[in-house]
Amino acid sequence: MSDTIPVTIISGSLGAGKTTLLNHILADADDRDIAVLVNDMGTVNVDADLVASDSELDVAGGVTELSNGCICCELQDDLETAVVRLAQNREFDALVVESSGISEPGPVARLFTTESRAAALYRVDSLVTVLDTRQFLDAFSGGEPERRGEDGDRPLSDLLVEQAELANVVLLNKADLCTDAELDEAEELIAALQPDAETIRTEFSAVPHDRLFDRGLFDPDHIKDLPGWKRALSGAGHGHDDHHHPDEVYGVTSFTYRRRRPFHPERVAEILRALPTGVVRSKGTLWVAGSELRVVLGQAGPSVHIEAVGPWIASLPEVEQDLYRSNRPDLEWDDTHGDRRTELVFIGTDYDEASLRASLDDALVTDDEWDRVGDLSGPFPAEQGSEAVLREP
């Protein structure tokens, strides 16, 4: 709607340069009146104080703060209340929401795109991720990883990947601390994680306003917002050897692994625990022998975790199978195995694709093992909704 307020959502890890970016925006707002909502995990919102102190706007009118929580989870209600209150006394042209350094932008964006009071007043214009480029590269270099989160229990690589995969615009900040080759490599990794994201090299988060506002880049229903791994799974190719090689200047490649034979749980767990350092991201569904639950893999750098998300449709009573299949006409169905299959996407640099494919093939059950799949056991979740960690930093 033309009368809705455009929203730019800024995310990035702690210290990446989000607050510096906000101060640039407020100090040189051109002819725009901009309202800012800042989130910090502390009881005192340091970011809000820093933004307000460096802006020419009145704090009460221009900067709203949410403290002691994360707006992508426990402060969702507070976020909605805050943005609705801002809109009621609208004296601004655009809203900028800065999420905390441990937040991913997806849940924040959904507040403005689902049925809610906020969605009736606002529209998401773009999702902007600020990266400390050196930190981004180091997170996947195989060194000692950082941890982030309220309790320091979340690998930084997880957060960086999620923030990059959902971005429309990525600022490769602190570019002056990297070589041109390192910046090229970072751009290529971003292109593999989110093919449609614009990348901008910045120093001290300085970026022209026309690269951040009135872009109309966010479209939740369009394929351009799909991260690289999801696009690979939803692409036209359905063979066993689907692969994609971008510019290959730095060897960033991706490939999709599909099979209609289950994995031996112990063997595939061993492979996933020992994924090559060069694999930055892997995601997808595994068919594991001895279980009728679909298992989803999520790997980012040194972190590998799995979750049982629900039963295979082929494992349900025939009446339920027919109901599901009638509601999902695009579901790929095998006459023998139904919807059971493995679909995994691997994205990374400097890893041996052929060797990884061969290792995965070796982890599939043999004909003899298939006859006794009920006797197999492994470290995979046994109940829907349960998770397991195969590797952690």
Burial of residue 110, with CB atoms counted within 10 A of its CB: 0-12 exposed, 13-18 middle, 19 or more buried: middle
Q: Is residue 315 domain-shared with residue 354, that is, in the same domain?
A: yes
Which band of pLDDT confidence, cut at 50, 70 and 90, is reported for residue 315?
very high
More confident residue, 171 or 25: 171
Q: Is residue 207 domain-shared with residue 62, that is, in the same domain?
A: yes
Which band of pLDDT confidence, cut at 50, 70 and 90, is reported for residue 66?
very low
Query: pLDDT digits over 196-221, tens only?
Result: 999 999 999 999 989 999 999 998 77
Q: Is residue 99 domain-shared with residue 152, that is, in the same domain?
A: yes
Q: Is residue 122 domain-shared with residue 198, that is, in the same domain?
A: yes
Instruction: Read off the CATH number of the domain in which 341 is found.
Output: 3.30.1220.10
- Give mean pLDDT, residues 191-198: 92
Question: What is the predicted pLDDT for the residue at 101?
Answer: 61
- Give mean pLDDT, residues 330-354: 93
Question: What is the predicted pLDDT for the residue at 339?
Answer: 96
- Give mean pLDDT, residues 323-352: 92
Q: Kindly report the average pLDDT of the chain as a whole number.
A: 81
Q: Is residue 62 domain-shared with residue 111, that is, in the same domain?
A: yes
Asked whether residue 149 carries a pLDDT value surpassing 80, the answer given is: no
Q: 365 Cβ partners below 8 Å, 6+ apart? A: 261, 262, 263, 264, 289, 373, 376
Q: Is residue 181 domain-shared with residue 315, that is, in the same domain?
A: no
Domain C-terminal end among 169, 201, 225 = 225
Tell me the residue range of the domain where 62 lies: 5-225
Q: Is residue 190 domain-shared with residue 296, that is, in the same domain?
A: no
Asked whether residue 144 carries a pLDDT value surpassing 70, the answer given is: no
Asked whether residue 114 carries a pLDDT value surpassing 60, the answer given is: yes
Query: Which of 29-43, 173-187, 215-229 is predicted with the least confidence, judged by mean pLDDT?
Result: 29-43
Which band of pLDDT confidence, cut at 50, 70 and 90, is reported for residue 307?
very high
Q: Is residue 205 domain-shared with residue 234, that is, in the same domain?
A: no
Question: What is the predicted pLDDT for the residue at 76?
Answer: 52
Q: Is residue 83 domain-shared with residue 48, that is, in the same domain?
A: yes
Instruction: Read off the CATH number of the domain in which 170 is found.
Output: 3.40.50.300
Domain C-terminal end among 184, 200, 225 = 225
Q: Is residue 73 domain-shared with residue 174, that is, in the same domain?
A: yes
Q: Is residue 168 domain-shared with residue 234, that is, in the same domain?
A: no
Number of structural domains (the chain) is 2
Q: Is residue 46 domain-shared with residue 142, that is, in the same domain?
A: yes
